[in-house]
A and B are shown apart, each in its own frame.
Chain A
């Protein structure tokens, strides 16, 4: 059935169909509408399980509640954004270290300071190596569909999953989506059978300390299991297509990029803009395509290198920048392509909610195609302002000394 709903509500309804047993979250923009939607569904008895919705005093508590419930063997869900994700950081690592298959939505938002509520992806990026699988949604349709897949991925592998959904651009946007039926979801997603759980009949100690005599092995095993998730993630997206009749998720998606000279790589909703851009270039017969990465962690480096091997250059467009690394995705792609001569350009845009306009991006791509682009560039950054301030601050610092 097609319907016009807000992205967050679409996500909430998809989660509801997954019969979560425990939903526990703390409000933060732009995640709020998702958990408000779920709170309402639980109150109205619209979730076909004995679902417990718990209001807590912080994100740290929210994920901790999910750690407790997941360790007791029930399907557990939380959601957050930005500062909230940082506030739960200690528990984020704990959940993956204990291999608890919790599903968490990240309504992607900038991290402060300065405080900023708008979209970029630095929040989920800040936890990219925390041992959680990270999958990114391009559209509201995919946002809902990925959650249905996320529970299956998490529970099959006993690894927690973050579903990254661009804040506002998706969470607050009204789009037409095809909703799923309970029958479809039940056919696709089996009841949760925990790998391990608290059980009076079989008492065990979970989360106990491990010393130097075994910690390396525990870590190595954890990483091996994590890296082995790549194939199942792809397979689960294919199973999804069989049952639901539409594509969603998986490792990557080409858009005119299978044999293009220039390939633009991106995560999340900006792929929509990119597809429009590629369509325009196509009319002029320019050899350019876009390549969406659906699964960011584990990073399918081999598969991506194979898919991009024909390219002359790759332009990575992303909404995050970190001191020391620069753009995280560009960094990953550079490493993935290290044995090739493919030139990688890193383009940072959309930080703190600045819109990424087609025109601005095309200007950058035009320069990239002539190999005139800097290795690192920004979409619509006011360079003159930044340069002026740097000079002024230099002066100020000299005086202050």
Chain B
């Protein structure tokens, strides 16, 4: 029986998951045999779910670094729902779900309890989608930052409220179609607002560590988890996680989309400490936003006859602004 050896699992450069040819000290946890498997198989995520992948990558690394001493607090959302279908659970870690908007505060409580018990060797993670992070749980998140509680918060950003059927969140990009920003009126899809850049807002709190990461670059993601885990206090990791169902994309394009978001400049990769940017990941080969947008049905109206060219230009302008602000291109490319 012949096996099709043209898998979607490609080894582009040495940045992707599963590159077992690397020397053991730089190989990703995902490609080791003894990875913790924090989020086991059998969960109910859609095929190609970026959030499931992001969570597994991040928490596996946390498990490795903490020697499995982790407590995870999860906000309501897709990740919570698809990992714990009654009566099962996919989590191999102590895991607690309370509400949609309170994960950071619950994590503060978990941390306080550990402190009271004198068990400071346990890492406390709070995690949620973009909706719980940038919208409903934002007050609790800011409070947790302000107090500098010893919690690593991870946001899985799929740019809408997916669990409730793809409604707009404060992290939904302009022009994107969602169930509450439909394709009607002169400017279909989400409006152009000021956006709510929680990584930058986290930086403004001056917390020890803030980083953006992508599931298209596992080793960068793991490096950022490692950096975060080397510190105490409030830390924030924002992971971009494409959602085939909400974005109208093909499951096999999840990693590709995550990469194009970075390469177009729409999703800048950076890290910062105590309010100062300490590093950015340069764009290797800049692509126009069209390449990223065209793979997603939520943006197809931008390319239809009669579309207002201003809308597409507006999205490109956002990417260009990021490239300039973070210095994402090598000087020669500017």
Contact call B96/A60, Cβ cutoff below 8 A: no
- Which chain B positions have C-beta within 8 A of A203? 91-95
Query: Is B226 interfacial (CB-CB < 8 Å)?
Result: no
Segment at the interface with B among A162-170, A210-218, A268-276, A355-363: A210-218
Distance (whole angstroms) from the CB of B41 to the closest CB of chain A: 16
Q: Known A24-B112, A74-B113; judge A90-B94 contact (CB<8 A).
A: no
- Cα(A270)–Cα(B144), bound, Å: 41
Partner of A72, one of B70, B91, B110: B110
- Cα(A209)–Cα(B117), bound, Å: 29
Q: Known A69-B112, A198-B110, A209-B86; judge A60-B105 contact (CB<8 A).
A: yes
Segment at the interface with A among B77-85, B182-190, B312-320, B325-333: B77-85
Mask, A184-205, CB within 8 Å of B = 1, is 0000000000000011101111
Distance (whole angstroms) from the CB of A313 to the closest CB of chain B: 45
Contact call A94/B108, Cβ cutoff below 8 A: no
Contact call B98/A66, Cβ cutoff below 8 A: no
- Which chain A positions have C-beta within 8 A of B68? 200
Query: Is A342 interfacial (CB-CB < 8 Å)?
Result: no
Contact call B86/A64, Cβ cutoff below 8 A: no
Segment at the interface with B among A49-57, A111-119, A257-265, A383-391: A49-57
Q: Known A60-B140, A68-B105, A68-B108; judge A207-B98 contact (CB<8 A).
A: yes
Contact call B110/A68, Cβ cutoff below 8 A: yes
Contact call B85/A209, Cβ cutoff below 8 A: yes
Query: Is A224 interfacial (CB-CB < 8 Å)?
Result: no
- Cα(A44)–Cα(B82), bound, Å: 46
Contact call A206/B99, Cβ cutoff below 8 A: no
Contact call B117/A61, Cβ cutoff below 8 A: no
Query: Is A208 interfacial (CB-CB < 8 Å)?
Result: yes
* Chain A interface bracket (under 10, 10 to 19, 20 to 34, 35 or more): 35 or more
Contact call A72/B101, Cβ cutoff below 8 A: no
- Which chain B positions have C-beta within 8 A of A94? 98-99
Contact call A73/B98, Cβ cutoff below 8 A: no
**Which A residues from 204 to 251 make CB contacts under 8 A with B?**
204-211, 213-214
Contact call A68/B107, Cβ cutoff below 8 A: yes
Distance (whole angstroms) from the CB of A16 to the closest CB of chain B: 14
Instruction: Output the nearest chain B residue to A198 by Cβ-Cβ distance.
Output: B94
- Cα(A205)–Cα(B98), bound, Å: 11
Query: Is B139 interfacial (CB-CB < 8 Å)?
Result: yes
**Which A residues from 36 to 85 make CB contacts under 8 A with B?**
49-52, 54-58, 60-62, 64-74, 76
Query: Is B259 interfacial (CB-CB < 8 Å)?
Result: no
- Cα(A257)–Cα(B329), bound, Å: 85
- Which chain A positions have C-beta within 8 A of B70? 200
Contact call A68/B139, Cβ cutoff below 8 A: no
**Which B residues from 142 to 173 make CB contacts under 8 A with A?**
142-143, 146-147
* Chain B interface bracket (under 10, 10 to 19, 20 to 34, 35 or more): 35 or more
- Cα(A324)–Cα(B84), bound, Å: 39
Contact call A206/B109, Cβ cutoff below 8 A: no
Q: Known A61-B105, A203-B93, A205-B84; judge A68-B73 contact (CB<8 A).
A: yes
Query: Is A22 interfacial (CB-CB < 8 Å)?
Result: yes
Contact call B110/A209, Cβ cutoff below 8 A: no
Instruction: Output the nearest chain A residue to B66 by Cβ-Cβ distance.
Output: A200
- Which chain B positions have C-beta within 8 A of A68? 73, 96, 98, 105-113
Contact call B96/A52, Cβ cutoff below 8 A: no
- Which chain A positions have C-beta within 8 A of B89? 204-205, 208
Distance (whole angstroms) from the CB of B111 to the closest CB of chain A: 8
Contact call A205/B95, Cβ cutoff below 8 A: yes
- Which chain A positions have C-beta within 8 A of B115? 50, 52
- Cα(A24)–Cα(B89), bound, Å: 30
Query: Is B322 interfacial (CB-CB < 8 Å)?
Result: no
Contact call A69/B110, Cβ cutoff below 8 A: yes
Distance (whole angstroms) from the CB of B140 to the closest CB of chain A: 5
- Cα(A49)–Cα(B95), bound, Å: 26
Query: Is B71 interfacial (CB-CB < 8 Å)?
Result: yes
Distance (whole angstroms) from the CB of A99 to the closest CB of chain B: 13
Query: Is B87 interfacial (CB-CB < 8 Å)?
Result: yes
Q: Known A69-B112, A200-B70; judge A214-B99 contact (CB<8 A).
A: no
Query: Is A344 interfacial (CB-CB < 8 Å)?
Result: no
In the complex, which of the residues A22, A91, A198, A213 has the most CB atoms of chain B within 10 Å of its own CB atom?
A: A198
Instruction: Output the nearest chain B residue to A210 by Cβ-Cβ distance.
Output: B86
Instruction: Output the nearest chain A residue to B68 by Cβ-Cβ distance.
Output: A200
Partner of B143, one of A56, A72, A91: A56
Instruction: Output the nearest chain B residue to A22 by Cβ-Cβ distance.
Output: B112
Query: Is A155 interfacial (CB-CB < 8 Å)?
Result: no
Query: Is A145 interfacial (CB-CB < 8 Å)?
Result: no
Contact call B113/A21, Cβ cutoff below 8 A: yes
Contact call B117/A57, Cβ cutoff below 8 A: no
Contact call A206/B96, Cβ cutoff below 8 A: yes
Q: Known A22-B116, A57-B139, A90-B99; judge A64-B84 contact (CB<8 A).
A: no
Query: Is A277 interfacial (CB-CB < 8 Å)?
Result: no
- Cα(A83)–Cα(B102), bound, Å: 18
Instruction: Output the nearest chain B residue to A56 by Cβ-Cβ distance.
Output: B143
Distance (whole angstroms) from the CB of B181 to the closest CB of chain A: 26
- Cα(A90)–Cα(B105), bound, Å: 14
Contact call B98/A64, Cβ cutoff below 8 A: yes
- Cα(A49)–Cα(B115), bound, Å: 11
- Cα(A24)–Cα(B147), bound, Å: 13
Contact call B142/A52, Cβ cutoff below 8 A: no
Query: Is A304 interfacial (CB-CB < 8 Å)?
Result: no
Distance (whole angstroms) from the CB of A41 to the closest CB of chain B: 15
Query: Is A98 interfacial (CB-CB < 8 Å)?
Result: yes
Query: Is B114 interfacial (CB-CB < 8 Å)?
Result: yes
Instruction: Output the nearest chain B residue to A207 by Cβ-Cβ distance.
Output: B97
Instruction: Output the nearest chain B residue to A205 by Cβ-Cβ distance.
Output: B89
Distance (whole angstroms) from the CB of B188 to the closest CB of chain A: 34
- Cα(A54)–Cα(B69), bound, Å: 24
What 3 A-B pairs are tightest by C-beta distance, nearest first? A68-B109, A72-B113, A64-B105
- Supply 14 A–B pairs (Cβ within 8 Å), ascending by A: A57-B139, A57-B140, A57-B143, A58-B143, A64-B102, A68-B96, A72-B109, A73-B113, A90-B99, A91-B102, A198-B95, A200-B69, A208-B86, A209-B85
Identify the A interface with B (CB < 8 A): 21-22, 24, 49-52, 54-58, 60-62, 64-74, 76, 90-91, 94, 98, 198-200, 202-211, 213-214
**Extra inter-chain contacts (16) besides given A90-B99, A208-B80, CB under 8 Å:** A24-B112, A50-B118, A56-B105, A58-B140, A65-B112, A67-B109, A68-B109, A68-B113, A69-B112, A70-B109, A90-B101, A94-B98, A205-B95, A206-B96, A208-B84, A211-B86
